[in-house]
Amino acid sequence: MAVQTFASTTDSANTVDLGPAAALSCRECGHRVPLGPVFACEECFGPLEIAYDFSGYDTEELRKRIEAGPANIWRYAPLLPVPADVATKPNLNPGWTKLVQADNLARELGVTGGLYVKDDSGNPTHSFKDRVVAQALEAARAFGFTTLSCSSTGNLAGAVGAAAARAGFRSCVFIPHDLEQGKIVMAAVYGGELVGIEGNYDDVNRFCSELIGDPAGEGWGFVNVNLRPYYAEGSKTLAYEVCEQLGWRLPDQIVVPIASGSQLTKIDKGLQELIKLGLVEDKPYKIFGAQAAGCSPVSTAYKAGHDVVRPQKPDTIAKSLAIGNPADGPYVLDIARRTGGAVEDVTDAQVVEAIKLLARTEGIFAETAGGVTVGVTKKLIEDGVLDPSLTTVVLNTGDGLKTLDAVAGTGLTATIRPSLESFREAGLV
Amino acid sequence: MAVQTFASTTDSANTVDLGPAAALSCRECGHRVPLGPVFACEECFGPLEIAYDFSGYDTEELRKRIEAGPANIWRYAPLLPVPADVATKPNLNPGWTKLVQADNLARELGVTGGLYVKDDSGNPTHSFKDRVVAQALEAARAFGFTTLSCSSTGNLAGAVGAAAARAGFRSCVFIPHDLEQGKIVMAAVYGGELVGIEGNYDDVNRFCSELIGDPAGEGWGFVNVNLRPYYAEGSKTLAYEVCEQLGWRLPDQIVVPIASGSQLTKIDKGLQELIKLGLVEDKPYKIFGAQAAGCSPVSTAYKAGHDVVRPQKPDTIAKSLAIGNPADGPYVLDIARRTGGAVEDVTDAQVVEAIKLLARTEGIFAETAGGVTVGVTKKLIEDGVLDPSLTTVVLNTGDGLKTLDAVAGTGLTATIRPSLESFREAGLV
């Protein structure tokens, strides 16, 4: 199938089976087009997202079906743009990661209403990206693509490489050529093409957009470009899992990191769907967004009371959140304000402190993005913005093993000779 | 409770509740003593292991209880030395990792009877060590210890640090002082004491043994020394999970890495228990042991037809398996011979090749130990030792992110300028 940028109403009706996904719908003007590998509205250039047909679902039957499903995201197949038999296809089966009741952290932060960490480092390639890539992969299968691609500076490259390997797709991932060697190895080990671009991440992105419009890109599914409407839906599963793991209950407050902002908007979408389907009680919840001070365009706009997000040049150790011009920024502002949440940011030093705080209280080693959410949670409590008497969920979206440099200062408590005398001298007993 | 090395029959009866664990029993002479923080028989110096009382279990009730249990090792609490309410206590809840149906790898290796990878990189600190440490932690709780300790060169240090942090224990881990900085960071981030010993791993071990006998070590649970009988039982859960995930069926063949050999012997113990409890059909199974050529004392003894394992000086990239004098070596030989299995080894180059093979076929990035098991599986098939028409399970016990150096040669396929012309020149389409 030829690659298109815009959807056209002249397209025939859906010819693909992506379960309850009924059409693509423009987030801005509501214009609907059939399902296809397109991502922008032909009418207004707004972003397309999945419109579902959930009619005919009986709440209690659906709940039972989910609970009897596999211990991965496919338990929610009836709510995702995937065919009903998705669990039988080769993929990495991400999700159903632990919701850790973080009593030690709660004590340190003064949270009394229940504090939970949703720990997505438990995914196959140890970040939440496995959730979104898994959706893009099913869309790629449906549209007959044979190559899975993306631009990336880290987590996404590994997630795409691994998913493509398992599913029997060719993969071709584009990264800035001067990435750290460790990150290159993590992405290259899966055996796909890994192409270094002489330039920065913006150059990589520009090149990918060119490639999508070129015959050379035919048959290529770029997970975060022409498959983006499907890809983005993967983040809904975080909302579903949190609620089911809380006993089919909405959290009162949830703290979500912001890169493009897509994850936060889809978590809101997921919570709204659960309410509409009757799977959880309809009650208020607050969504808080977390950024690093060194890349805080959304937080800056929130604090200034703006509706528009002004781009920034990122300079932070939280590289997986370092998107200076977040596409979904305005939607994030709207959700934070509508739900009574907020958007806040923390310095790199606070990120490192928060990584260590989470590790020493709960034994969870988060990547820098997790340090951002925990750090922001702490700050919001100290500032009286987040209510410590309410049930609060904090997302950890990645693994500390991927950002070891951030805590490189951590080291030995003591160095001793192999003798009891030397041990006693060190004052460790 | 004072630390003891040997169990004594003059001890009173069990005063601790560790569920179905009834006593400690000597593996050599069968001498029984009450449960306690001891690891060697007072009669014959043989290793002590847990003796259970499984009487009163109804097979189908037990199966239902397990299936209704949590998605972690505590679903098997009725078969482990832990109190019945263990799942309510703060710990890392490891286990119930994915059993991946590895059809792509099977095709490459010519396996037709079904090939599965049990992927323990999905554990909280990304190695199987979380399973064993979780058992030691419950024993430490029962015996009133307040410090969790171990000697380690890698995975175990992180697993102990994380588990202690979450459970509210002090931790003090001993490592050779000149470990790679990355490994030090991974262990130090949890905030426990991390003590570098001026010496090699043998010096670290000797020091720990001294400390156990000294008043300075009072109140300390060394997970792999005075808590070893409890610790070791954690590996049984790998056997339980594999069988349950196969639909309560024994695999025909299972390939297990050998470090001390404890894991392999406990997997055999776990399979035997499932047979005796009626949870699986009683039929033959073969257990294969995998070593790196650079540390292959058990494989060498197996091939020579010896019952005794001669120590070796390790020299391999598979550092988590580099135990030159494996305590359970003779038991491993016995199990491999009794079940019709074998013990084999592969070179470091074959380990690297196998890591890449698993990554590009199944999207699983294994640490070097996983490369050893996959590499040995390949070799055993090529040599006609492992039957490709039988259901085969291969263990991956750790995560490639922890041994990145092994595949450091993996890199970019191409480097191009950000233009379609440069892309075409690179021959990637």
Q: Please, is B88 exposed, middle or buried when counting C-beta atoms within 10 Å of its C-beta (0-12, 13-18, 19+)?
A: exposed
Q: What is the mean pLDDT of residues B331-351?
A: 98
Percent of chain A surpassing pLDDT 90: 90
3-state secondary structure of B403: helix
Contacts of A103 in chain B (CB under 8 A): 90
Q: Is the confidence at residue A12, as pLDDT, over 60? A: no
**Chain B: nearest CA to A207, how far in angstroms?**
5
* Listed residue (B186, B120, B181, B122) closest to B159, CA to CA: B186
* Listed residue (A208, A206, A337) closest to A264, CA to CA: A337
**Chain B: nearest CA to A124, how far in angstroms?**
7
Contacts of B210 in chain A (CB under 8 A): 419-420
The pLDDT of residue B410: 86
Contacts of B414 in chain A (CB under 8 A): 193, 195-196
The pLDDT of residue A409: 85
Question: Which residue is listed with tokens 């949440």?
Answer: A341
Is the residue at B25 inside a domain?
A: yes
Q: How many CA atoms lie within 13 A of A67 on its CB side?
A: 14
- Check A185 against B408: CB less than 8 A apart: yes
Is B214 in the A-facing interface, judged by CB distances under 8 Å?
A: yes
Q: What is the mean pLDDT of residues A291-296?
A: 98
* Domain boundaries, position A212: 21-53+129-231
Pull the structure tokens for residue B124.
């909280």
My answer on whether B109 and B140 are in the same domain is no
My answer on whether A285 and A398 are in the same domain is yes
The sign one gets for the Cα dihedral A72, A76, A80, A84 is positive
Is the residue at B199 inside a domain?
A: yes
Which is higher by pLDDT, A200 or A362? A362
Nearest Cβ partner for A359 among B190, B196, B407: B190
Is the residue at A183 inside a domain?
A: yes
Q: Is the confidence at residue B387, as pLDDT, over 60? A: yes
Pull the structure tokens for residue A229.
């409407």
Let me know how long chain B is.
Answer: 429
Suggest the residue from A3, A91, A412 to mutate for an interface test with chain B (most B CBs closer than 10 A).
Answer: A412
Q: Tell me how far apart the alpha carbons of residues B129 and B137 are, in angstroms, rounded to a whole number.
A: 12
Q: Is the confidence at residue B21, as pLDDT, over 70? A: yes
Q: Is the confidence at residue B101, as pLDDT, over 80? A: yes
User: How far, CA to CA in Å, does B60 sit from each of B56, B65, B75, B278, B414?
Assistant: 12, 9, 15, 9, 58
Is the residue at B401 inside a domain?
A: yes
Is B161 in the A-facing interface, judged by CB distances under 8 Å?
A: yes
My answer on whether B152 and B292 are in the same domain is no
User: How far, CA to CA in Å, does B320 sit from each of B259, B371, B402?
Assistant: 7, 12, 10
Q: Is the confidence at residue A91, as pLDDT, over 60? A: yes
A positions 75-104 inside 8 Å of B (CB): 90, 92-93, 96, 98, 103-104
Is B126 in the A-facing interface, judged by CB distances under 8 Å?
A: yes
Is the residue at A41 inside a domain?
A: yes
Is the residue at B73 inside a domain?
A: no
B positions 26-55 inside 8 Å of A (CB): none
Suggest the residue from B410, B417, B421, B422 to mutate for an interface test with chain A (most A CBs closer than 10 A).
Answer: B410
Do B57 and B45 form a contact (C-beta atoms < 8 A)? no
Confidence of residue A13 (pLDDT cuts 50, 70, 90): low
Is B365 in the A-facing interface, judged by CB distances under 8 Å?
A: yes
Which is higher by pLDDT, A409 or A278? A278
Q: Tell me how far apart the alpha carbons of residues A374 and A322 are, in angstroms, rounded to a whole number.
A: 17
Enumerate residues 6+ apart whose C-beta is below 8 A from A294.
Answer: A314, A315, A316, A317, A318, A322, A347, A348
Confidence of residue B202 (pLDDT cuts 50, 70, 90): confident
Enumerate residues 6+ apart whose C-beta is below 8 A from B220.
Answer: B3, B145, B147, B148, B149, B172, B211, B212
My answer on whether A27 and A145 are in the same domain is yes
- Check A420 against B199: CB less than 8 A apart: no
Is the residue at B278 inside a domain?
A: yes
Is B411 in the A-facing interface, judged by CB distances under 8 Å?
A: yes
My answer on whether B116 and B144 are in the same domain is no
Strands A220-222 vs A147-151: parallel, antiparallel or unpaired: parallel
Is the residue at A62 inside a domain?
A: no
Do A311 and A325 form a contact (C-beta atoms < 8 A)? yes
Contacts of B124 in chain A (CB under 8 A): 98, 122, 363-364
Q: What is the mean pLDDT of residues B195-201?
A: 91
pLDDT single digits (tens) A97-130: 999 999 999 999 999 999 999 999 999 999 999 9
My answer on whether A28 and A146 are in the same domain is yes
Q: What is the mean pLDDT of residues B47-62?
A: 97
Enumerate residues 6+ apart whose C-beta is below 8 A from B281.
Answer: B249, B250, B275
My answer on whether A204 and A103 are in the same domain is no
My answer on whether B279 and B358 are in the same domain is yes
Q: Which amino acid is at B210?
A: E
My answer on whether A209 and A318 are in the same domain is no
Confidence of residue B429 (pLDDT cuts 50, 70, 90): confident
pLDDT single digits (tens) A35-51: 999 999 999 999 999 99
Q: Tell me how far apart the alpha carbons of residues B255 and B303 are, in angstroms, rounded to a whole number.
A: 17
Is B213 in the A-facing interface, judged by CB distances under 8 Å?
A: no
The pLDDT of residue A371: 98
- Report ipTM (2 d.p.): 0.94
- Check A420 against B211: CB less than 8 A apart: yes
Enumerate residues 6+ apart whose C-beta is below 8 A from B410.
Answer: A184, A185, A188, A189, B356
Confidence of residue A10 (pLDDT cuts 50, 70, 90): very low
**Chain B: nearest CA to A100, how far in angstroms?**
9
Is A71 in the B-facing interface, judged by CB distances under 8 Å?
A: yes
Domain count of the fold of chain A:
2
Number of A–B residue contacts, CB under 8 Å? 236
- Check B198 against A416: CB less than 8 A apart: yes
My answer on whether A34 and A157 are in the same domain is yes
CATH code (residue A42): 3.40.50.1100
List Cβ<8 Å contacts ≥24 apart for B139-142: B139/B18, B139/B37, B139/B81, B139/B221, B139/B227, B139/B230, B139/B231, B140/B169, B140/B221, B140/B223, B140/B227, B141/B89, B141/B167, B142/B16, B142/B17, B142/B18, B142/B35, B142/B83
The pLDDT of residue B278: 98
Q: Tell me how far apart the alpha carbons of residues A299 and A293 are, in angstroms, rounded to a whole number.
A: 8
- Residue at which a domain ends, from B178, B213, B231: B231
Percent of chain A surpassing pLDDT 70: 97
Do A404 and B185 form a contact (C-beta atoms < 8 A)? yes
Pull the structure tokens for residue B344.
């084999």
Q: Tell me how far apart the alpha carbons of residues A63 and A377 are, in angstroms, rounded to a whole number.
A: 31
**Chain A: nearest CA to B69, how far in angstroms?**
13
My answer on whether B266 and B163 are in the same domain is no
Contacts of A158 in chain B (CB under 8 A): 365
* Listed residue (B36, B49, B125, B48) closest to B367, CA to CA: B125
Q: Which amino acid is at A70?
A: P
My answer on whether A226 and A122 are in the same domain is no
Helix axes B329-339, B262-276, angle to 10 degrees: 50
Alpha helix (H) ranges present in B348-415?
A: 348-362, 368-382
Do A166 and A91 form a contact (C-beta atoms < 8 A)? yes
Q: What is the mean pLDDT of residues A294-314?
A: 97
Percent of chain B surpassing pLDDT 70: 97
Question: Which residue is listed with tokens 């671009």?
Answer: A197
pLDDT single digits (tens) B170-188: 999 999 998 888 889 999 9
Is A69 in the B-facing interface, judged by CB distances under 8 Å?
A: no
Alpha helix (H) ranges present in A277-411?
A: 297-304, 329-339, 348-362, 368-382
**Chain A: nearest CA to B115, how far in angstroms?**
14
Nearest Cβ partner for A211 among B96, B414, B420: B420
- Residue at which a domain ends, from B175, B197, B231: B231
Pull the structure tokens for residue A420.
């009891």
The pLDDT of residue B3: 42
Q: Is the confidence at residue A131, as pLDDT, over 70? A: yes
Q: Which residue of A has its CA nearest to B167?
A: A362
pLDDT single digits (tens) A402-425: 999 999 988 899 999 999 999 999
The pLDDT of residue B2: 39
Do B80 and A66 form a contact (C-beta atoms < 8 A)? no
Is B133 in the A-facing interface, judged by CB distances under 8 Å?
A: no
Which is higher by pLDDT, B9 or B225? B225
Question: Which residue is listed with tokens 């482990």?
Answer: B80
Q: Is the confidence at residue A6, as pLDDT, over 50? A: no
User: How far, CA to CA in Å, does A278 sit from each of A236, A248, B113?
Assistant: 16, 10, 45
DSSP A295: B
